Amino acid sequence: MPSYVIGVDGGTESLRAGVFDAAGTPLSFASAPYPTAFPAPGWAEQRPADWWTALGVAVKEAAASAGVPPADIAALCVDTTCCTVVALDEAGQALRPALLWMDMRSAAQAARVAAAGDEALAVNGGGGGPVSAEWMIPKALWLAEKEPEVFEEAATICEYQDYLNFNLTGRMVASVNNASIRWHYSTQRPGGWPTGLLKAIGLEGLQAKWPQEVLPLGAVVGGLTPAAAAHLGLPEGLPVAQGGADADIGMIGLGVIKPGQLALLTGSSHLHLGVTDKIFHGRGIWGVYPDALLPGVHMVEGGQTSTGSAVAWLRKLVGEPGYEALNAEAAAVPPGCEGLLCLDHFQGNRTPHTDALSRGAIAGLTLRHGRGHLFRALIEAICFGTEHIFETMRGQGYSPASVTVAGGATRSDLWLQTHADVSNVPFVLTKVSDAPALGCAILAAVAAGLHPDVPAACAAMVHQDRVVQPDPQRHAEYASHYAAYKQLYPALQPGFHAAAARCAPPPKAPPPPPAAEALARRAQLHSIVSPSILSADFANLQSDVQRVVDAGAEWVHVDVFDGVFVPNLTIGPPVVKSLHNRVPGAFLDCHLCVVHPEAYVEEMAASGAAQFTFHIEAPGIDFNCTTAAALAAKARKLGMRAGIALQKDTPASTVLPLVAAGAVDTVLLLSVRAGFGGQKFDLAVLPKLRALRERFAGDIIVDGGITLANAREVAEAGANALVAGTTVFAGPQPAEVAVPGLVDLIAAGREAWPAPASGEQPAPTNGAQQAEQRELSLA
Ligand SMILES: O=C(CO)[C@H](O)[C@H](O)COP(=O)(O)O
């Protein structure tokens, strides 16, 4: 009876096949590379035909060097990168090169998906985002919008995984693993598919293009077709088992299938893949993906972007000494590195902050610190980053009890021991480091009937090598250093975001001439004054607000300052609530200058805020806009208009994905440093305002230093809404003169805007009439 299996790991650069026996012993491995095309920044494409060629080469070579005759092979299983999307015609031929997981062209589509506010998005940080451009729906949406002829013609839109299985067996099916982790499929939803999400983004047509059958891991997809058998040099009809995403199949190869176990897959980055029997969602984690591994075996995901890559960077910087020397020097340094502390966010933070603009840092340098201190501080930072992910998971109800680890970094005892000590959990190493290939072999062994099920196959085929136990004393010693590490990000985040804004590349192409439709929409905007109550008499707020409303102020600007995001403390939801009750009908235009706007969105809505404007620079809001889009969608869902605000020095380009996605109703440009009224208007905001107006037909608010002398010029540059505090509440003219005066100046300034082609009526300027119209359009 055939007793060997082939596991194939379809990676990013090559495909690696291994022949294993039923006890999990590898007999041979063989790899075959395939090219990836990077025709432009952010693009990454591969030709499905190259995968197929590589599969034939690697399998034939592995089988030959194992010395196992084809008749002794019992089954085959393949994993692949995920989400790598292919579009196929009726015959299963690729219509275009595949969009590799790392292809980022669908970033704007990802922001739109995040803005949909559908329940299926719970797996993205509990609905708070981000949605990654790596995932299926943004990629398919990109295809539908940018290459509609390909999308239309495609009979099937699926994964690299499904393409290979189809070519092996002639059967087109999806894997529950890929679909759950990257397609927003859920076994908990009737039918599984994210129909509501597809409808919300106008991509209903995608569902029928997906493979309609979803198979669990290890299920038999089919037998090798004659053509596939010839291509691989294996017997016709050989069972092919369902695989999934390479990293997740690696969990199986590490034997991580029981609740409380967690797989740490290391390389240039860290991937934390936990197993849980509970279904929960929350900020700072991805998942839980129900049944994504096995029935009842759910997955939770975290990730650190720069780990091995940061270590390699430091080694290069200090003259490329051997890792042995660096480890020895670092081991001689005490925990905490005598005050030296690193932040590991060299390429941003994936979880728990999900901030693409966060950066690495070294803090506390003195002249006595040497190379060993630096190396140890970086290793500690990586361990602290992992612990922060674990702490976030614990906060959501999942506690990793043991970590099974794979990857090159496991060769460092210091690295392993520090991880175990910081997190106070045992770190387990297994004998076969090529976990994805072994995971495939396990699934193939189940499909072949060599083992009754995946748990039994894992028990027979995964062998523990050693366990690194945590040292409780060391763990206690690390506590204060870990606490200090956690303070680094919030302290440095504003600086990181400011640096990103400073260094943002200028927009590449000149703006397209405004379309007729955009011109018509702009003409319909209202000319709005939003008096800032920051300059009102706080002891007489009700009468001050009533007074400006009576004077024709369509909005009332409420600055919510938390004393952290800006150096001033003002008012919060209770005052908003009182104003809403005491001045019925006042449109409360709430501007949140706070570090965590997401923490206030529900309360602000419940208090009566009409517009919820938050800052793109706020921690937790990412500059690729997915978390911003999700928060804006939530604000809208709660009945408020959504706005995004930019500090004076933040370029408009940072919010263009949001604007392009239609995710916000307003953009607020600060023309002073946020925090206090009575400052001087900074003319530097005008070019930014002009550039934004060319791309955005919605309300643009300019806030800070607005007077009767400059309002017209600001409106000419593109603003249709002005916030004015001092001028309305403490200026030489009373509010009854200042408010209508400012409205007239805005209307006059807007006459400089390009006019729509024909037939457009100007918007009414009477405040009450406009409020009535808005009520109607909200209803
Ligand atoms: O948000 C603000 C500052 O952060 C104020 O709303 C703004 O400055 C308006 O005040 P003034 O018209 O007095 O400049």
Q: What is the DSSP string of 441-508?
A: HHHHHHHTTSSSSHHHHHHHH--EEEEE---HHHHHHHHHHHHHHHHHHHHHHHHHHHHHHHTPPPPS
| pLDDT digits 0-9 by tens, 191-232 | 999 999 999 999 999 999 999 999 999 999 999 999 999 999
Give buried/exposed letters for 117-137 (b at 16+ CB in 10 A, else e).
bbebbbbbbbbbbbbbbbbbb
Centre of ligand 1 from the C-alpha of residue 745, in Å = 19
| pLDDT digits 0-9 by tens, 558-575 | 999 999 899 999 999 999
Q: Which atom of ligand 1 is nearest to the CA of 706?
A: 12
Q: Has residue 731 got a pLDDT over 50?
A: yes
Classify 2 as helix, strand or coil. coil
Centre of ligand 1 from the C-alpha of residue 33, in Å = 59
Residue 470: Cβ within 10 Å count: 18
Residues serving a catalytic function are 559, 703
| Token output for 386 | 């992992």
Cα angle for residues 580, 586, 590 (degrees, 5° grid): 75
Ligand 1 and 726: CB distance under 6 A: yes
Ligand 1 and 125: CB distance under 6 A: no
Q: Which residues contact 553 (CB under 8 A, 6 or more apart)?
A: 529, 530, 531, 728, 739, 767
Q: Has residue 45 got a pLDDT over 80?
A: yes
What DSSP character marks residue 566?
A: S
| Total residue count of the chain as it appears in this document | 779
Structure confidence at residue 259 (pLDDT) = 96
Q: Characterize the bridge pairing of strands 85-88 and 156-159.
A: antiparallel
Q: Which atom of ligand 1 is nearest to the CA of 679?
A: 14
Centre of ligand 1 from the C-alpha of residue 676, in Å = 6
Structure confidence at residue 40 (pLDDT) = 79
Residue 584: cis peptide before it, omega within 30 degrees of 0: no
Give the C-alpha separation, 737 to 528, whole Å: 15
Give the C-alpha separation, 685 to 669, whole Å: 8
Q: How confident is the model at residue 720 (pLDDT cuts 50, 70, 90)?
A: very high
Structure confidence at residue 778 (pLDDT) = 24
The pairs formed by 145-148 with CB atoms below 8 angstroms and a separation of 24 or more are 145/109, 146/105, 147/96
> Residue 203: in which H helix or E strand, if any?
none
Q: What percent of the chain has pLDDT over 90?
A: 79
Structure confidence at residue 518 (pLDDT) = 83
Structure confidence at residue 505 (pLDDT) = 61
Centre of ligand 1 from the C-alpha of residue 591, in Å = 11
What DSSP character marks residue 1?
A: -
Q: Of 547, 665, 530, which is closest to residue 587 (Cα–Cα)?
A: 530
Q: How confident is the model at residue 769 (pLDDT cuts 50, 70, 90)?
A: very low
- Residue 46: phi and psi, rounded to 5, are -135, 155
Q: Of 432, 535, 333, 495, which is closest to residue 23 (Cα–Cα)?
A: 432
Fold of 4-244: Nucleotidyltransferase; domain 5 (3.30.420)
What ipTM, to 2 d.p.?
Answer: 0.92
Q: Would you say 144 and 205 are in contact if contact means Cβ atoms under 8 Å apart? A: yes
Average pLDDT over every residue of 571-590? 95
| Token output for 290 | 């129900």
Q: Which residues contact 203 (CB under 8 A, 6 or more apart)?
A: 137, 140, 141, 144
Ligand 1 and 532: CB distance under 6 A: yes
Ligand 1 and 749: CB distance under 6 A: no
Q: Which atom of ligand 1 is nearest to the CA of 676?
A: 3
Ligand 1 and 385: CB distance under 6 A: no
Structure confidence at residue 506 (pLDDT) = 57
Can you state the percent helix, strand and coil of the chain, rounding each to 5?
Answer: 40, 20, 40
- In whole angstroms, how far apart are CA 390 and each of 394, 654, 763? 6, 31, 54
Q: Which atom of ligand 1 is nearest to the CA of 730?
A: 13
Q: Would you say 548 and 556 are in contact if contact means Cβ atoms under 8 Å apart? A: yes
| Token output for 380 | 């500690």
Residue 173: cis peptide before it, omega within 30 degrees of 0: no
Ligand 1 and 534: CB distance under 6 A: yes
| Token output for 664 | 């916000």
Residue 130: cis peptide before it, omega within 30 degrees of 0: yes
Ligand 1 and 559: CB distance under 6 A: yes
Residue 503: cis peptide before it, omega within 30 degrees of 0: no
Average pLDDT over every residue of 527-542? 96
Give the C-alpha separation, 689 to 684, whole Å: 9
Q: Among 646, 670, 672, which residue has the most ligand 1 atoms within 8 Å of its CB, making it the best to mutate?
A: 672
Structure confidence at residue 433 (pLDDT) = 86
What CATH number was assigned to the domain covering residues 256-431+462-498? 3.30.420.40
- In whole angstroms, how far apart are CA 61 and each of 78, 97, 433, 441? 16, 26, 20, 16
Structure confidence at residue 763 (pLDDT) = 41
Centre of ligand 1 from the C-alpha of residue 310, in Å = 42
Lowest mean pLDDT among 154-168, 522-536, 753-767: 753-767
Same fold, 4-244 and 256-431+462-498: yes
Ligand 1 and 675: CB distance under 6 A: yes
pTM for this model (two decimals): 0.71
Ligand 1 and 704: CB distance under 6 A: yes
Q: Characterize the bridge pairing of strands 699-703 and 721-724.
A: parallel
Q: Has residue 271 got a pLDDT over 50?
A: yes
Question: Closest Cα to atom 6, ligand 1: which residue?
Answer: 532
Centre of ligand 1 from the C-alpha of residue 678, in Å = 7
Question: Closest Cα to atom 4, ligand 1: which residue?
Answer: 674
Q: Of 12, 14, 4, which is closest to residue 58 (Cα–Cα)?
A: 14
Class of domain 516-778: alpha beta
Q: How confident is the model at residue 494 (pLDDT cuts 50, 70, 90)?
A: confident
Centre of ligand 1 from the C-alpha of residue 549, in Å = 18
Q: Has residue 166 got a pLDDT over 90?
A: yes
The domain ranges of the chain are 4-244, 256-431+462-498, 516-778
Q: Has residue 775 got a pLDDT over 80?
A: no
Classify 353 as helix, strand or coil. coil
Give the C-alpha separation, 572 to 582, whole Å: 16
Ligand 1 and 679: CB distance under 6 A: yes
Give the C-alpha separation, 659 to 636, whole Å: 15
